[in-house]
């Protein structure tokens, strides 16, 4: 009994809790100086792609990325009514350096991107906190197709989403907290960059986009020692039952 308890304590101590990292790091607790109206009322939806330098993601090395979220700019509120999108698909993969971002979606990934989210999404009044500077982050866009193992390096994220459909009113556009595409002093073009294009199926992203301040969530990958301790704990418990 005592041995099992001791093993369990060490195993639990070795398993780290979930990790959240905000990119750009400098704006984790500081309001971004810009905004970006990501959502659209235009038929056909949009494509939004971001690339992030590895220096902004060091806290996520060795984790399985399983979600991401945005926050509203200070003073903004959204949505005023329920908003549905029939498509909100996300891909993640090794990316080019932000200095090398191109207007071709596939060229901004190194190798093949991994689709981590598929399907519709809905947003409701109150989903995104307001009244703060900065505001708290809104709902997590969970990776419902599986996590992405991040082991370091520059990262690219692609979102393909449909036009928004408001239920019982007018939605307006979400003014997300962001760094302007012209704001090189704060790292745009060197530490991070973004592009967008009308049409959710577009293979090109011809317009520079403000970079949305993004919180990435990850779950640390257990080390071999941790897995061993958990296994020993299970064996000890099994032996105790057999006695």
Confirm whether pTM is higher than 0.95: no
Enclosing H/E stretch for 161: strand 155-161
User: What angle do helix axes 224-242 and 2-14 make, rounded to 10 degrees?
Assistant: 160
Q: What are phi and psi of 129, to 5 degrees?
A: -60, 150
CA distance 156 to 111: 11
CA distance 160 to 55: 26
Averages of pLDDT over runs of 10 residues in the chain (243 residues) are: 45 66 99 97 96 99 99 97 98 99 99 98 98 98 98 99 96 96 99 99 98 98 61 50 53
Residue 26 lies in a domain: yes
User: pLDDT value at position 231?
Assistant: 52
Residue 110 lies in a domain: yes
CA distance 5 to 13: 12
Its domain, for residue 183, covers 17-221
Residue 58 lies in a domain: yes
Residue 34 lies in a domain: yes
Residue 82 lies in a domain: yes
Report DSSP letters for 178-220, one per residue: EE-TT-GGGTBTTTEEEEEEESTT-SB--EE-PEEPEEEEEEE
Residue 162 lies in a domain: yes
User: pLDDT value at position 17?
Assistant: 85
Overall number of domains in the chain: 1
Residue 76 lies in a domain: yes
User: pLDDT value at position 243?
Assistant: 52
């Amino acid at each position: 009994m005592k041995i099992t308890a001791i093993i369990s304590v060490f195993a639990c101590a070795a398993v780290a809790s979930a990790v959240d990292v905000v990119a750009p790091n400098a704006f984790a607790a500081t309001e971004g100086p810009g905004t970006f109206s990501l959502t659209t009322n235009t038929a056909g939806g949009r494509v939004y792609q971001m690339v992030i330098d590895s220096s902004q993601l060091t806290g996520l090395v060795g984790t399985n990325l399983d979600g991401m979220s945005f926050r509203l700019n200070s003073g903004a509120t959204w949505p005023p009514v329920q908003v549905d999108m029939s498509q909100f698909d996300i891909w993640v993969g090794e990316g080019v350096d932000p200095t090398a971002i191109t207007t071709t979606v596939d060229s901004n990934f190194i190798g093949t991107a991994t689709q981590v989210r598929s399907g519709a999404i809905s947003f409701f009044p109150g989903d995104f906190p307001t009244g703060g500077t900065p505001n708290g982050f809104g709902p997590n866009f969970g990776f419902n197709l599986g996590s992405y193992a991040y082991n370091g390096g520059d990262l690219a994220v692609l979102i393909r989403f449909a036009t928004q459909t408001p239920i019982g009113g007018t939605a307006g556009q979400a003014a997300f907290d962001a760094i302007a595409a012209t704001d090189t002093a704060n790292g745009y073009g060197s530490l991070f960059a973004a592009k967008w294009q009308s049409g959710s199926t577009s293979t090109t992203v011809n317009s520079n986009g403000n970079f949305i301040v993004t919180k990435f969530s990850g779950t640390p990958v257990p080390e071999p020692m941790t897995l061993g301790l958990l296994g020993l704990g299970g064996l000890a418990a099994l032996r105790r039952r057999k006695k």
